[in-house]
Amino acid sequence: MLFEKSLKIGLLTVAVSALLAADSVAQRPGRVELGGFGRKSIMEKSLSFQEEFPLGGGGRLGIFIAPQLAVEGTVSFTDYGFLLGTDVNHVPINARLVWGPYVSDHMQLLFGAGYVHNRYTGGFAGADNGAGGLVGFRWLWTNNWAARIDAVGDYIPNPANASASVPNNTNWGIQAGISYLLGGGFTRDADGDGVNNVNDVCPGTARGMPVDDSGCPRDTDSDGVFDPMDNCPNTPTAARVDRAGCPIDSDSDGVADHLDRCGNTPASTRVDESGCPADSDGDGVANTIDRCTNTPSGAAVDANGCPLDSDNDGVADHRDNCPNTPAGATVNVEGCPTDRDNDAVYDGLDRCPITAAGTEVDASGCPVLFESDEAVEIVLEGVNFETGSADLTPNARTILARVAQSLNGNPDIRVEVGGHTDSQGGHAFNVRLSQRRAESVRDYLMYQGVAARQITAQGYGPDQPIADNGTRDGRAQNRRVALRRMN
């Protein structure tokens, strides 16, 4: 009864497994399984073996006659202690049909049934025959190597120790070992891509999709997007790609990130082949911010892309022959300062730009009045008047024009125009005459543009002689106009 019950359970398990693995394609016919195993036996108690769970070993030979179906033979050997004090050797020889449906890519359930021949030698000699069953599993870790565990049961209807009280025997065993599979090879290919499941890294590949040796869809350019979905199948190595397999262009400038040297180009900016904003004149400043887009090649430029003008003279450095022109100086087209009156003071800095040739000028380019800051008074030589009047002579006007130039060029200087006479004539008359003459000089200087705040006029008459009025030369020296610096 126990055997029949076990057989029914085994058949039910086989049916369920068959449904689970109905599409499996297993080992090819003609393949051979060679294996060895260790065995732990549970023998019929009526055999009177002293050891309840003895250990033994054995080997197997199987030949596949159909997919998943093999004819298998096993031989094992176990040494038992017998109740009579001697050893008994048990040698079961099994021949079975074994069916192995797959429950996963690497796992097969095994169900077997067949014939068993038992031989006993040693302290007990005999032989008997019966039917055997097997339930187990095979785990394939490579195309050829597998681990295997089986539970076996043998039913002996007329055992060697048969008696009225022992009409049959039932022996059990657990066998565990390894197998090596020779021949046609493992052919289960669940996704039909031509790569066995054991070797298939991508077992769920869609039907018809081309795969590589590992069973994964081909990715020719190794960008992580399989060829059938790759719109850009020749992407360069290491380029980041989108879902379509095309190189990513983060700033949408038309240049893929792996080629883009300027990865944050503003939207709508025209770029060159390196992804950087276009620079038509090659000055290093992008067209988008370049205010001078036609800068000559090689010219140094500022942040706006315009040629540098280090001395701010209006002539760019790349064509400035005089790059250190003082600020404010007027320059020619070559960037060099001009000096129209040749007084060594550049135009633009020259407060008296048309000084007569040969005129001694000060730092502002104006005729020198006072030789130094310490000089207080100078006599205006040549400033004369018509006899007995305050009317300036033509020569006097020429001289005063140069004086006006100097005062106009030095607006901070304040002066007093002093009129002086000799002692001839009445004192009151001479004082009035000297005042009129001083005012005449003052008025002419103001007519030449000198500010009124710069000039005062004072007549001193004969009261401040600088020579002897008793001589002709002395009197001539005393008749004079002097400028006194007031600051």
Q: Which CATH class is domain 377-485?
A: alpha beta
Q: Residues 203-246: pLDDT tens digits?
A: 877 877 788 878 888 878 878 888 888 888 888 887 888 888 88
Write a three-state SS string for the chain: CHHHHHHHHHHHHHHHHHHHCCCCCCECCCCEEEEEEEEEEECCHHHCECCCCCEEEEEEEEEEEECCEEEEEEEEEEEEEECCCCEEEEEEEEEEEEECCECCCCEEEEEEEEEEEEEEEECCCEEEEEEEEEEEEEEECCCCEEEEEEEEEEEECCCCCCCCCCCCEEEEEEEEEEEEEECCCECCCCCCCCCCHHHCCCCCCCCCCCECCCCCECCCCCCCCCHHHCCCCCCCCCCCECCCCCECCCCCCCCCHHHCCCCCCCCCCCECCCCCECCCCCCCCCCCCCCCCCCCCCCCECCCCCECCCCCCCCCHHHCCCCCCCCCCCECCCCCECCCCCCCCCCCCCCCCCCCCCCCECCCCCECCCCCCCCCEEECCCCCECCCCCCECHHHHHHHHHHHHHHHHCCCCCEEEEEECCCCCCHHHHHHHHHHHHHHHHHHHHHCCCCHHHEEEEEEECCCCCCCCCCHHHHHHHCEEEEEECC
Which residues of the chain carry a pLDDT beneath 50? 1-25
pLDDT for 130: 96
pLDDT, residue 116, reads 97
**Could you state, in order of their start, the residue ranges of all structural domains in the chain?**
2-182, 377-485
Distance CA 25, CA 314 (A): 90
pLDDT at 178: 97
Instruction: Of 441, 379, 449, 439, give the one whose Cα is nearest residue 411.
Output: 449
Check: CB of residue 422 under 8 Å from CB of residue 469.
yes
Predicted local distance difference test score (pLDDT) of residue 10: 46
User: Does the predicted TM-score (pTM) go above 0.85?
Assistant: no
Position 452 scores a pLDDT of 95
> Under CATH, to which class is 2-182 assigned?
mainly beta
User: How far apart (Å, rounded) are the C-alpha atoms in residues 11 and 65?
Assistant: 20
Q: Of 373, 412, 399, which Cα lies nearest the Cα of 481?
A: 399
Q: Return d(Cα 61, Cα 76) in angstroms, integer.
A: 12
| pLDDT for the residue numbered 129 | 96
pLDDT in tens, 361-384: 888 888 888 777 666 889 999 999
DSSP 8-state secondary structure symbol assigned to residue 471: S
Alpha-carbon gap, residue 485 to 413, rounded angstroms: 7
